[in-house]
Amino acid sequence: MTATDPDWRRVLGADPVMADLLDAHGHLPVEPAENEFRRLAVSIVNQQLSTASAAAIRERAFDLLGEVTPAAVLAADRDALRDAGLSATKVDYLRNAATAFQERDLTREGLADHADETVVDELTTITGVGRWTAEMYLLFVLGREDVLPLGDLAVRRGLESLYGCDSRTEMREVAEAWRPYRSYGTRYVWAHYESDDD
């Protein structure tokens, strides 16, 4: 680590396991997605699916929608979305999210002054958006830097593999060393898990 490294790199680099991951996986930034609703739709489609299945269904559904906007989701034919591979429940979840986006300001600007937990509370009022999806929104849409989504199986498996953690309590303790940059730590744990999984 050098004096010109960003703060998050210096903080993570103080953890020897994380320092190895930084070297192995290079620069993994936490950057907000350009299209807030599209990224939320990605998280909803991804719920409870393997990476490969989610990618295939998402490609078909998003091709059908064209531009992934609340209006496009609400105008789309339900049966066509089902034929693209979405379950009836996920079609409902996407429509619920689209309606919420039309009725409330869930953009980066609209949520800029909200604490992370307040954002989670706001998003989880949408039927179909649970804590995991809300945390993906914090990390990938809002670019929040201190998110530790322990509801994510890959994060838990990665922490078990890297640190020998047996419980979420131990995982939280390990990640304390990464504050206030746990989102970056999460990205490196994912990278480790995905490379281990290949």
Angstrom CA distances, 80 to 7, 83, 87, 182, 197, stand at 47, 5, 11, 39, 33
Render pLDDT for 52-67 as a digit per residue (tens, 0 to 9): 888 899 999 999 999 9
7 CB-contact burial (10 Å; exposed 0-12 / middle 13-18 / buried 19+)? exposed
Structure confidence at residue 194 (pLDDT): 87
Length of the chain equals 198
Report the percentage of the chain scoring pLDDT > 70. Answer: 96
Q: Tell me the domain boundaries of the chain.
A: 7-30+148-197, 36-141
Structure confidence at residue 4 (pLDDT): 52
Instruction: Tell me the CATH number of domain 36-141, given options 2.40.110.10, 1.10.340.30, 3.40.50.450, 3.60.21.10.
Output: 1.10.340.30
Structure confidence at residue 48 (pLDDT): 79
Q: Class assignment of domain 7-30+148-197?
A: mainly alpha
Confidence of residue 150 (pLDDT cuts 50, 70, 90): very high
Structure confidence at residue 1 (pLDDT): 45
Confidence of residue 3 (pLDDT cuts 50, 70, 90): very low
Beta-carbon contacts of 156 under 8 Å, excluding residues fewer than 6 positions away, are 150, 165, 168, 171
Render pLDDT for 21-41 as a digit per residue (tens, 0 to 9): 999 999 998 999 889 999 999
Distance, CA of 62 to CA of 84 (rounded, Å)? 9
